[in-house]
Amino acid sequence: MKHYTEEEILEILKRHKDVSVSYTDEDKQRALVNPSLDEFRAGLKKKVEYLKSTPNEQLSFALFRRFEEDGDRKQFEDRYFNRRQKLLAYALEYWLHKDADTLVHLQDITWAMLEEYTWSVPAHLMRKGLKKVQDDKTYVVDLFASETAHALSEMLTLVGDDLHPIIKDRIHFEIERRVLSRAYENQGEFFWHNVTNNWSAVCAGSVGMTAIYEIGDEERLAHFIERSLSMLENFYKGFSSDGACLEGLSYWNYGFGYFMYFADMLYRRTEGEINLFDDPHIKNIAFFYTKVFFKGSRTVSFSDGGSHGKCSIGALSILAKYYPDYRIPSAEYINFDFSDDYCARFALAVRNTVLAREDLKTNTNEIIGTYLLEDAEWYISSSACGVGIAAKAGNNGEPHNHNDVGSFLIYKNGESLIADIGAGEYTRQYFTPDTRYTIFCNSSASHSVPIINGEYQKAGASYAAKDTTMTEGGIVSDIAGAYDVKSLKSLRRSLSFDANSGAVALKDSFEFDSKPSSVVERFVSPCKPEILSDRVDIKSKNEKMSIYFEADKCIAKYELVMDKAHHGEDRETYVIDFELKDPSVSFDALFEIK
């Protein structure tokens, strides 16, 4: 990624002094007739009608301190993000249709957000301590403070002329003192100044876009753009050469999304002189988006990822603009509705509205196939019969890490049969090192990997696979290093996939210094299994697969485990265990899934 000095940026800005990046009436008129936005416009209208019928809930101190008291963040954040959902929906609907009643609601929710004690959330304020008063000198700039500043600044460019002057002036005032005056005041003050994960991109991208909207002085703007670009260089370095996002697809959407929104705005502001997309590594990262889908809009759900997802119309349209060879997928993989985004990301929804290509619904490109992400050590493949598999090697110190070296998942025609259950409910305990891996979904207990001498995998980058090789037909690696079992010399896991039949063959080859006390081969599924003499049947709503095992060597059993999914909902997971009857110092365990 090319580095630009402050002086270079200033000269570029001066050459393009009168360029506007605001969206225009022409953009609005296109959005109103764009056939790719038919469902989007209808969904937006429905959402606005619903939100108007609900009260603007208070962010009480009792809810604010819940995170400090018991680790719960959902009760406060449900209300916090409901406010942002209202801001987004009302702003877009008013921009498109100029309805007077919607303007009343928009101004009320904007006023409520301007009155908030802080735009950060308690879970992030804990980095500074909840007892530290938030004021002009101490405001914490986190993900959501950054996003709030951007949302308000972009809302002003869309509908600001119709807002009451007090609200307009106060938006500028609050953005300046809460975010712009603080974001880059002291280099290193906020941890996202020096990290390589989604925080650097979301915060720097949001602050950078806000600065372009808010700052008229070219010298000061050049400083903000240089600082944002420096943060984005860190984010850039967090991706290996294959472009894989080890945090998962949802965090690619989040982090790289804000990278591309800022990059696109900067390209327009400088009339193409600063083009962050003109970089082979950025292109690899961009193309990751189309490598992780399966039939039925299922996705790779490693780490804190999710198992469902669709491509954003705005993100696809941006990437296709800069990369003519970008493979826009068929409509099956694209989200055309007004996204019911819990966090109400203003940047994404606005770009969905104004940038969507008109040909998205008629595209017939098939994006599923076989992808070998060598640096990430991810194997992804789909068969013509509808079976898709993803498997990984890697290490247990990855971003948003789960202890999952050697894990895999299997879908069939959009239904999960062997699962990686993904993220759990985010609480204080979820992000505390001492407690993170006591939580089921983060532990290897929730992954399809062996349990050896009663021990699960350990956390940390040193607990890793080695000697990993991948071909079109599968992945092989030694995953013994993920365990702290002194007698375990090697555990060579071989997963083979027949792309014609959809059959998966698993072979684990164990080598010990001394006879192990126990070895259990675990498989994880959302479906209640049925144990038969030589196989275990797994049936979802419409699909079925069977795990064939060596009945003379194994005893099969299963257990239902309940936990909390990402948004706090109850989740059922079945762990299917094959206990080796008499494991020796050297043996193979064989399974076939078909």
CATH number at residue 215: 1.50.10.100
- E strand residue ranges, 387-503: 387-392, 395-396, 408-412, 415-418, 451-452, 460-464, 466-471, 474-478, 488-497
Task: Give me the mean pLDDT over the 40-62 stretch.
Answer: 96
Is the pLDDT reported for residue 310 higher than 80? yes
Q: List CB contacts of 535: < 8 A, sequence separation 6 or more.
A: 546, 547, 548, 549
Q: What is the dihedral of CA 246, 388, 391, 327, to 10 degrees?
A: -40
pLDDT at residue number 277: 98
Are 338 and 396 found together in one domain?
Answer: no
Which helix (H) or strand (E) element contains residue 571?
strand 570-580
Band of pLDDT at residue 365, cut at 50, 70 and 90: confident
pLDDT at residue number 590: 98
In this structure, of 125-134, 184-193, 525-534, the range with the lowest mean pLDDT score is 125-134
Is the pLDDT reported for residue 536 higher than 80? yes
Express as a percent the part of the chain with pLDDT over 70: 99
- The C-alpha atoms of residue 243 and residue 253 are separated, in whole angstroms, by 13
Q: Tell me, yes or no, whether 516 lies in a domain.
A: yes
Are 150 and 70 found together in one domain?
Answer: yes
In this structure, of 29-43, 105-119, 209-223, 299-313, the range with the lowest mean pLDDT score is 299-313
Q: Tell me, yes or no, whether 318 lies in a domain.
A: yes
Q: Is the Cα dihedral 3, 8, 12, 17 positive or negative?
A: positive
Are 294 and 349 found together in one domain?
Answer: yes
- E strand residue ranges, 171-240: none
Is the pLDDT reported for residue 445 higher than 90? yes
Strand, coil or helix: what is 173? helix
Cα angle 481, 485, 491; round to 5: 50
Are 375 and 240 found together in one domain?
Answer: no
Is the pLDDT reported for residue 544 higher than 90? yes
The tens digit of pLDDT for each residue in 558-569 reads 999 999 999 899
Under a CB-based contact definition with an 8 Å cutoff, are residues 203 and 141 in contact?
Answer: yes
Q: Tell me, yes or no, whether 41 lies in a domain.
A: yes
**Residue 215: DSSP 8-state:** -
Of 342, 362, 382, the residue that ends a domain is: 362
Task: Give me the mean pLDDT over the 132-143 stretch.
Answer: 91
Under a CB-based contact definition with an 8 Å cutoff, are residues 450 and 522 in contact?
Answer: yes
Are 119 and 159 found together in one domain?
Answer: yes
pLDDT at residue number 393: 98
pTM for the whole structure: 0.94
The tens digit of pLDDT for each residue in 183-215 reads 999 999 999 999 999 999 999 999 999 999 999
- β pairing state of 311-312 and 387-392: unpaired
**Residue 550: DSSP 8-state:** -
pLDDT at residue number 127: 64
Nearest to 377 by CA among 398, 396, 391: 391
Question: Mapped to the 3 state alphabet, what secondary structure does 398-431 carry?
Answer: CCCCCCCCCCEEEEECCEEEECCCCCECCCCHHH
pLDDT at residue number 132: 77
Are 82 and 177 found together in one domain?
Answer: yes
pLDDT at residue number 128: 58
The tens digit of pLDDT for each residue in 247-284 reads 888 899 999 999 999 999 999 999 999 999 999 999 99
pLDDT at residue number 249: 85
Is the pLDDT reported for residue 133 higher than 90? no
Are 160 and 293 found together in one domain?
Answer: yes
Task: Give me the mean pLDDT over the 133-144 stretch.
Answer: 93
Structural domain including 269 reads: 6-362
Are 37 and 133 found together in one domain?
Answer: yes
Q: Tell me, yes or no, whether 263 lies in a domain.
A: yes
pLDDT at residue number 360: 93
pLDDT at residue number 19: 96
- The C-alpha atoms of residue 206 and residue 211 are separated, in whole angstroms, by 9
Burial of 56 (0-12, 13-18, 19+ CB in 10 A): middle
What is the residue-averaged pLDDT of the chain?
95
Band of pLDDT at residue 300, cut at 50, 70 and 90: very high
Are 219 and 341 found together in one domain?
Answer: yes
Report CA Rg, the chain. Answer: 25
Of 362, 396, 413, the residue that ends a domain is: 362
- The C-alpha atoms of residue 442 and residue 423 are separated, in whole angstroms, by 8
pLDDT at residue number 129: 65
Under a CB-based contact definition with an 8 Å cutoff, are residues 335 and 351 in contact?
Answer: no
DSSP string, 283-335: HHHHHGGGSSEEGGGEE---TT--SB--EEHHHHHHHHHH-TT--PPPGGGEE
Are 351 and 214 found together in one domain?
Answer: yes
Nearest to 380 by CA among 480, 489, 302: 302
Cα 43 to Cα 350, 379, 453, 470, distances in angstroms: 14, 36, 53, 43
Are 73 and 185 found together in one domain?
Answer: yes
Q: Tell me, yes or no, whether 490 lies in a domain.
A: yes
Cα 322 to Cα 186, 201, 311, distances in angstroms: 34, 19, 17
- The C-alpha atoms of residue 225 and residue 183 are separated, in whole angstroms, by 12
Are 345 and 382 found together in one domain?
Answer: no
- CATH code of the domain in which 416 resides: 2.70.98.70
For residue 231, what are its two tokens? 């943060």
Q: How many domains in the chain? A: 2
- The C-alpha atoms of residue 60 and residue 68 are separated, in whole angstroms, by 14
Under a CB-based contact definition with an 8 Å cutoff, are residues 180 and 149 in contact?
Answer: yes
For residue 115, what are its two tokens? 């009155």
Is the pLDDT reported for residue 141 higher than 80? yes
Q: Tell me, yes or no, whether 398 lies in a domain.
A: yes
pLDDT at residue number 240: 87
Of 362, 390, 413, the residue that ends a domain is: 362
Q: Tell me, yes or no, whether 1 lies in a domain.
A: no
> From the CB of residue 396, how many other CB atoms can be counted at a distance below 10 Å?
22
- The C-alpha atoms of residue 307 and residue 386 are separated, in whole angstroms, by 16
